[in-house]
């Protein structure tokens, strides 16, 4: 098995990035529960024949779709070691907990957070953003909110983020009980960053209307263009207005390790909480999201169980655990070579992205998108060259359909795999947006 998967990774360039799943293969996975045991070798054969050739494609150097990380061999092997230990991090005294503590310590150092800051592995930034919203909610309403819910406080909380923010921020507002309508979506400027003046005006307007602003979410690397908000300006506003300052750094936060890009993250060090993914630019295998929280005590108060066996266990674990259970060894394999993280693995992807864009620019990329690219935060930040850009909101349906056909032709030549996505311009989702994707 190990040989097969190593051969697969070594020779992946000889394969198409992605290929459609034949109906016959899909059909085999509609069978019912097996009635007897299956030989491990047969399961492995099935994996090699029916699963491996029809994967997402994100481990291929030609993959330019979405913001998936590629993973890597050390990460794969670390995953095997972690599964061999099969540690439960819910308590007790064992080294996997120390490993997690060490990663938290490293992240505190990277972002200049105090030693009292807490950190926690979660499945991804969607979950980390949810935790950020919940901790901010606790700060505003007190720990009683956990027992009494949001209604008795009698405050109408409102949060702010930009039109370019990821949809999971609105989802976090929804799941927190505050409601996605309590997310004030602020327009972006020409660089796809949150418009700071519009944000200030929105806060003033909401206060006048009797609402309670409590949270501002900045983005370090937006999902559509890779733009980085002016985090220093957001930190200033948050301080002045007494808002919780959360940064969605799913894509961009780890660029704090890149001397080229780190200056563009200035201000992230003043955040109250930072969400990030090791499984994107970190090239760590899925899943490995993380949240770093300046006020570790508040983080714990937001989630700790008040009584019973779990409280005792939590106390034995030094009050460290809040929700995660699984030992994610992968970041160790990666972060132990933190310099490589940005300067080798990720740049491999970036370079591939650049070559590819050169190819697209040579003929396939519609002219207005090309100009649009030059203006975006992506071109300036060095992020997201592996993404194509959101189509102009003013594009006609036939023009958009022609674009899609072009991208499909490029993609199915097999050498690259692009994601062609239209930005809705509203992270609360397409339903509220007038800019729906055209049906072609």
Q: Which residues bind ligand PLP (CB under 6 A)?
A: 67, 124-126, 166, 168, 219, 221-223, 248, 250-251, 277, 289
248 vs 272 by CB, closer to ligand PLP: 248
251 vs 410 by CB, closer to ligand PLP: 251
The Cα–Cα gap between 219 and 225 comes to 11
91 vs 383 by CB, closer to ligand PLP: 383
278 vs 407 by CB, closer to ligand PLP: 278
Q: How far is the CB of 32 from ligand PLP (least distance, A)?
A: 32
165 vs 202 by CB, closer to ligand PLP: 165
Q: How far is the CB of 256 from ligand PLP (least distance, A)?
A: 15
Q: Identify the bridge partners of residue 249 per DSSP, sorted by sequence position.
A: 276
**Sign of the dihedral defined by the CA atoms of residues 66, 281, 79, 87, in that order:** negative
97 vs 199 by CB, closer to ligand PLP: 199
Q: How far is the CB of 285 from ligand PLP (least distance, A)?
A: 13
Nearest alpha carbon to residue 247 among 219, 223, 225, 222: 219
Q: How many CB atoms are located within 10 Å of the residue 306 CB?
A: 9
User: Contacts by 201-205 with C-beta closer than 8 Å and gap 24+?
Assistant: 202/160, 203/160, 203/237, 203/241, 203/243
141 vs 160 by CB, closer to ligand PLP: 160
Q: How far is the CB of 310 from ligand PLP (least distance, A)?
A: 26
For 93-182, strand residue ranges (E) read 118-122, 157-162
3-state secondary structure of 223: coil
Q: How far is the CB of 377 from ligand PLP (least distance, A)?
A: 12
Q: How far is the CB of 409 from ligand PLP (least distance, A)?
A: 26
Q: How far is the CB of 185 from ligand PLP (least distance, A)?
A: 15
Q: How far is the CB of 226 from ligand PLP (least distance, A)?
A: 9
Residue 128 and residue 291 in contact, taking contact as beta carbons nearer than 8 Å: yes
Q: How far is the CB of 153 from ligand PLP (least distance, A)?
A: 28
Nearest alpha carbon to residue 382 among 297, 263, 246, 288: 263
291 vs 322 by CB, closer to ligand PLP: 291
46 vs 287 by CB, closer to ligand PLP: 287
Nearest alpha carbon to residue 400 among 410, 392, 408: 392
Q: How many CB atoms are located within 10 Å of the residue 112 CB?
A: 11
Q: Enumerate helices (H) and strands (E) in the chain, giving the number of each.
A: 18, 9
Which ranges constitute the DSSP H helices of 248-393? Answer: 296-303, 308-316, 330-335, 338-340, 347-359, 367-375, 377-381
223 vs 332 by CB, closer to ligand PLP: 223
Q: How far is the CB of 129 from ligand PLP (least distance, A)?
A: 6
The CA radius of gyration of the chain, in Å to the nearest whole number, is 23
**Sign of the dihedral defined by the CA atoms of residues 395, 400, 406, 410, in that order:** positive
Residue 395 and residue 389 in contact, taking contact as beta carbons nearer than 8 Å: no
The residue number whose beta carbon is nearest to ligand PLP equals: 124
């Amino acid at each position: 098995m190990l040989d097969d998967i190593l051969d697969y990774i070594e020779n992946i360039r000889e394969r198409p990035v992605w290929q459609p799943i034949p109906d016959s293969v899909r059909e085999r996975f509609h069978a019912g529960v097996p009635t007897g045991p299956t030989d491990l070798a047969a399961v492995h054969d099935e994996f090699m024949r029916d699963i491996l050739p029809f994967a997402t494609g994100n481990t291929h150097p030609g993959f330019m779709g979405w913001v998936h990380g590629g993973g890597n061999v050390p990460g794969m092997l670390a995953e095997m070691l972690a599964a061999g230990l099969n540690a439960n991090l819910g308590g007790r005294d064992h080294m996997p907990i120390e490993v997690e503590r060490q990663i938290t310590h490293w992240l505190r150092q990277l972002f200049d957070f105090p030693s009292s800051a807490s950190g926690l592995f979660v499945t991804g930034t969607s979950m980390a953003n949810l935790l950020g919203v919940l901790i901010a909610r606790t700060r505003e309403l007190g720990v009683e909110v956990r027992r009494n819910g949001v209604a008795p406080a009698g405050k109408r909380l409102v949060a702010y983020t930009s039109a370019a923010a990821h949809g999971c921020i609105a989802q976090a507002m929804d799941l927190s009980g505050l409601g996605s309508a309590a997310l004030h979506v602020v327009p972006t400027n020409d660089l796809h960053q949150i418009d700071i003046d519009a944000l200030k005006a929105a806060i003033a307007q909401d206060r006048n209307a009797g609402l309670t602003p409590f949270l501002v979410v900045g983005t370090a690397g937006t999902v559509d263009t890779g733009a980085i908000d002016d985090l220093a300006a957001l930190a200033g506003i948050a301080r002045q207005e007494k808002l919780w300052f959360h940064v969605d750094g799913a894509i961009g936060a780890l660029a704090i390790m890149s001397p080229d890009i780190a200056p563009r993250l200035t201000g992230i060090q003043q955040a109250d909480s930072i969400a990030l993914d090791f499984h994107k630019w970190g090239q760590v295998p899925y899943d490995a999201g993380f949240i770093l929280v300046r006020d570790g005590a508040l983080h714990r108060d937001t989630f700790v169980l008040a009584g019973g066996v779990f409280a005792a266990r939590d106390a034995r674990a030094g009050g460290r655990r809040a929700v995660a259970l699984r030992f994610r060894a992968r970041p160790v394999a990666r972060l132990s070579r933190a310099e490589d993280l940005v300067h080798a693995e990720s740049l491999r992807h970036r370079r591939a992205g650049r070559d590819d864009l050169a190819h697209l620019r040579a003929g396939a990329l519609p002219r207005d998108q090309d100009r649009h690219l030059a203006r975006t935060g992506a071109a300036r930040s060095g992020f997201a060259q592996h993404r194509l850009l959101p189509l102009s909101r003013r594009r006609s349906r036939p023009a958009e359909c022609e674009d899609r056909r072009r991208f499909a032709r490029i993609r199915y030549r097999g050498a690259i795999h692009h994601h062609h996505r239209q930005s809705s311009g509203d992270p609360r989702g397409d339903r509220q947006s007038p800019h729906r994707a055209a049906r072609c």
